[in-house]
Chain A
Amino acid sequence: MLQFLLKRLALVIPAFFGVTILTFALIHLIPGDPVLLMAGERGIDPERHAELRREMGLDRPMVVQYLHYIGGVFQGDLGKSLISKKPVMEEFLTLFPATIELSLCAMIFAVTIGLPAGILAAVKRGTVFDHSVMAVSLTGYSMPIFWWGLLLILLFSVQLGWTPVSGRISALYWVDTVTGFMLIDSLLSNEAGAFTSAVRHLILPSIVLGTIPLAVIARMTRSATLEVLREDYIRTARAKGLSPMRVIGLHALRNALIPVVTVIGLQVGVLLAGAILTETIFAWPGVGKWLVESIGRRDYPAVQGGILLVATVVILVNLVVDLLYGVINPRIRHTR
């Protein structure tokens, strides 16, 4: 196990440094002088220009600048946003819970529907149900989710008026930020109706963000279950006279779930990327919307820091998934 752990860690460290090089390059590869870009259209006088360049360390050699940048990163210093003047780290941390909350709900939606649908499709192979699950999941997989979001808003918010169009909670409620998770904070606030409002705001974004993972999980579960159902031990279990529920629920599922867990883990990256689109559509105040807005405002330190932090989260989650995979499936641990 230790060797497996070390091997995985050895992959994570270069990945992290690769990302820092990318985000570092971001500022330096942008055509033109960063100082002039940041100054905007009003321009800047030469004295202040030189001063700013020195302040930002732009007059020093590239390698020194990179080492300086890395040094800052390890101390949690990602620079200050050009617009709000607040540290990038602080902005990220205040917005991140909203993204986690949305992603978690999307994942719960995807797993609770995708897993049973995939298993049932495999068990009822070749039936109408199987074909519909496969058709729906292929469509979901091909869906431009930003358009899917617009359609759902059109139907449920505009036509039917069931769900709100945007935001995390109705403006009628004032909820103090305790945990940053609106569902928990609204419960703590003791305001009647606040929690319901928060839930109603979460439904559509979660469905939109969960659609692609749902499709992938359903397809993967189906094929993994089909694979397992062909095994000899399943025939043995059936021959022993076990009930179909027991054979599938206990014997088949345990082994079928191993690849599914990996796929679910890999979807975390997909979710965080999808959050960029989903948050933009639903005006969800999370990291994704902030990143897109920062690019639009040419707030380069925010873009740089945001990409670095999101990428780091994805790398860490993938690491955890890999380790969990080793725990669930002893074969992985021993063969490597």
Chain B
Amino acid sequence: MSETVQVTSSEAPPHPLQEFWHYFSQNAGAVVGLVFICVIVVVAVLADVLAPHPPFEQYRDALLVPPFWQDGGSTRFLLGTDDVGRDILSRLMYGARLSLLIGAMVVTLSLAVGILLGLVAGYFRGATEAIIMRIMDVMLALPSLLLAIAIVAILGPSLFNAAIAIAIVVLPHYVRLTRAAAISEVGKDYVTASRVAGAGRLRIMFITILPNCMAPLIVQATLGFSSAILDAAALGFLGLGAQPPTPEWGSMLANALQFLQRAWWVVTFPGLAILLTVLAFNLMGDGLRDALDPKMKV
């Protein structure tokens, strides 16, 4: 008679995603951030349906109308109107599109180029690595907004150019992270095994090594989203990003200074939108870091 060992299902390790969600959901702030981001995404996607007014429509009979709860406000314009009679709520909703678009563009661009350069540097080492990393050092030596301004000055002010400028500015972070992760992976046995099995360079770099370097990159990409939104808004505010009448949050504030005394709502709401969105991405980034990579915990 031989005894059989029963392996109960509870002893099996949970699916990685399940494990991740377990840690992530313990962080209340991160969950709040995630929910807020989902709301913003829905608003951005459905802006055409949700927005009560078209973003460029100027109601000449309703200049600088206050929000509905103030004297003189009406539920026709929930958050009031700006100096040429455009509905602020609608512009904010369309603005969410632009901010998320910029974030996505910047993160995709910088992630793609950063991973490529970082992997090349970490895999080949030597002179290639030295050249790539020295260039990144130079870029890191400059304050990011200043570098972005310089690049926009070259390319000319527009939303698209601002996104490119920001993507270039944040590139060094991704390159450094990928390189560091790649270097620590390259020497491990599974990479050697893959090489012995005859895998080519590209396969080793992108299929064997890269997936194991992703954790810090995902965290950085989330945090990169928030800094991209913030920098794009700053450039828009300075008149170097989105150009009027684009309903971008930063450029909506560009000439708000003159309304400070008369119309606080023109100044307050676009900034609040920026703050809350950036905060949500930062909260989620912190949660991701704790859940994905305990080593990076500050």
Q: Give the interface of A toward B (CB within 8 A).
A: 11, 14-15, 18-19, 22-23, 25-26, 29-31, 138-139, 141-144, 146-148, 150-151, 153-154, 158, 219-220, 223, 269-270, 272-274, 276-277, 280-281, 291-292, 295-296, 303, 307, 310-311, 314-315, 318
Which chain B residues in 13-38 approach chain A with CB under 8 Å? none
Contact in complex: A154, B230 (CB < 8 Å): no
Of all chain B residues, the one with the shortest Cβ separation from A22 is B150
Contact in complex: B275, A139 (CB < 8 Å): yes
Please report the C-alpha to C-alpha distance between residue A30 and residue B157 in the assembled complex, in whole angstroms.
12
Interface stretch (choices B50-58, B62-70, B100-108, B141-149): B141-149
Of all chain B residues, the one with the shortest Cβ separation from A32 is B156
Contact in complex: B260, A153 (CB < 8 Å): yes
Indicate if B120 sits at the interface (CB-CB under 8 A).
no
Please report the C-alpha to C-alpha distance between residue A26 and residue B250 in the assembled complex, in whole angstroms.
25
> 1/0 per residue B207-230: CB within 8 Å of A?
000000000000000000010001
Q: Which residues of A contact B139 (CB under 8 A)?
A: 18
Indicate if B74 sits at the interface (CB-CB under 8 A).
no
Decide if the interface of chain B is mainly helix, strand, loop or mixed. helix
Please report the C-alpha to C-alpha distance between residue A142 and residue B283 in the assembled complex, in whole angstroms.
10
Please report the C-alpha to C-alpha distance between residue A219 and residue B297 in the assembled complex, in whole angstroms.
12
Contact in complex: B267, A303 (CB < 8 Å): no
Contact in complex: A273, B283 (CB < 8 Å): no
Q: Which residues of A contact B240 (CB under 8 A)?
A: 295
Please report the C-alpha to C-alpha distance between residue A310 and residue B286 in the assembled complex, in whole angstroms.
32
Q: A144-B233, A276-B146, A303-B153 are in contact. Are A11 and B238 (CB under 8 A)?
A: no
Q: A19-B142, A307-B150, A314-B143 are in contact. Are A14 and B238 (CB under 8 A)?
A: no
Which chain B residues in 212-261 approach chain A with CB under 8 Å? 226, 230, 233-234, 237-240, 250, 253, 256-257, 260-261
Contact in complex: B149, A158 (CB < 8 Å): no
Contact in complex: A144, B257 (CB < 8 Å): no
The distance from the CB of B174 to the nearest CB of chain A, in whole angstroms, is: 19
Contact in complex: A310, B267 (CB < 8 Å): no
Please report the C-alpha to C-alpha distance between residue A141 and residue B279 in the assembled complex, in whole angstroms.
8
Sort chain B's interface into a size bin. 35 or more
Please report the C-alpha to C-alpha distance between residue A153 and residue B253 in the assembled complex, in whole angstroms.
14
Interface stretch (choices B2-10, B130-138, B178-186, B191-199): B130-138
Q: A19-B138, A138-B279, A144-B234 are in contact. Are A31 and B156 (CB under 8 A)?
A: yes
Indicate if B49 sits at the interface (CB-CB under 8 A).
no
Contact in complex: B146, A311 (CB < 8 Å): yes
Q: A15-B138, A15-B141 are in contact. Are A150 and B146 (CB under 8 A)?
A: no
Contact in complex: B274, A158 (CB < 8 Å): no
Contact in complex: A14, B137 (CB < 8 Å): yes
Please report the C-alpha to C-alpha distance between residue A19 and residue B142 in the assembled complex, in whole angstroms.
8
Please report the C-alpha to C-alpha distance between residue A302 and residue B283 in the assembled complex, in whole angstroms.
40
Contact in complex: B145, A276 (CB < 8 Å): yes
Indicate if B85 sits at the interface (CB-CB under 8 A).
no
The 7 closest A-B pairs by CB, nearest first: A147-B271, A18-B138, A273-B143, A273-B145, A142-B278, A142-B279, A269-B143
Contact in complex: A19, B141 (CB < 8 Å): yes
Q: A144-B278, A295-B149 are in contact. Are A158 and B141 (CB under 8 A)?
A: no
Contact residue among B137, B150, B271 (Cβ-Cβ distance under 8 Å from A144):
B271
Please report the C-alpha to C-alpha distance between residue A22 and residue B270 in the assembled complex, in whole angstroms.
34
Of all chain A residues, the one with the shortest Cβ separation from B239 is A296
Q: List 12 A-B contacts (CB under 8 A).
A: A15-B137, A19-B138, A26-B150, A31-B156, A138-B282, A144-B234, A150-B256, A150-B260, A223-B298, A272-B146, A295-B149, A311-B141
Q: Which residues of A contact B275 (CB under 8 A)?
A: 139, 142-144, 147
The distance from the CB of B45 to the nearest CB of chain A, in whole angstroms, is: 23
Indicate if B1 sits at the interface (CB-CB under 8 A).
no
Contact in complex: A154, B260 (CB < 8 Å): yes
Please report the C-alpha to C-alpha distance between residue A272 and residue B145 in the assembled complex, in whole angstroms.
9
Contact in complex: B267, A141 (CB < 8 Å): no
The distance from the CB of A150 to the nearest CB of chain B, in whole angstroms, is: 5
Please report the C-alpha to C-alpha distance between residue A321 and residue B76 in the assembled complex, in whole angstroms.
56
Q: Which residues of B contact A296 (CB under 8 A)?
A: 239
Q: Which residues of A contact B271 (CB under 8 A)?
A: 144, 147-148, 150-151
Q: Which residues of B contact A311 (CB under 8 A)?
A: 141-143, 146
Please report the C-alpha to C-alpha distance between residue A259 and residue B144 in the assembled complex, in whole angstroms.
22
The distance from the CB of A5 to the nearest CB of chain B, in whole angstroms, is: 17
Q: Which residues of A contact B128 (CB under 8 A)?
A: none
Please report the C-alpha to C-alpha distance between residue A30 and residue B139 in the assembled complex, in whole angstroms.
20
Contact in complex: A292, B238 (CB < 8 Å): yes
Q: Which residues of A contact B226 (CB under 8 A)?
A: 142
Of all chain B residues, the one with the shortest Cβ separation from A223 is B298
Please report the C-alpha to C-alpha distance between residue A272 and residue B271 in the assembled complex, in whole angstroms.
22
Q: Which residues of B contact A292 (CB under 8 A)?
A: 149, 238-239
Contact in complex: A141, B282 (CB < 8 Å): yes
Contact in complex: B267, A307 (CB < 8 Å): no
Please report the C-alpha to C-alpha distance between residue A318 and residue B226 in the assembled complex, in whole angstroms.
25
Q: Which residues of A contact B260 (CB under 8 A)?
A: 150, 153-154, 158
Contact residue among A15, A151, A158 (Cβ-Cβ distance under 8 Å from B261):
A158
Contact in complex: B150, A23 (CB < 8 Å): yes
Q: Which residues of B contact A144 (CB under 8 A)?
A: 230, 233-234, 237, 250, 271, 274-275, 278
Q: Which residues of B contact A154 (CB under 8 A)?
A: 260, 264, 267-268
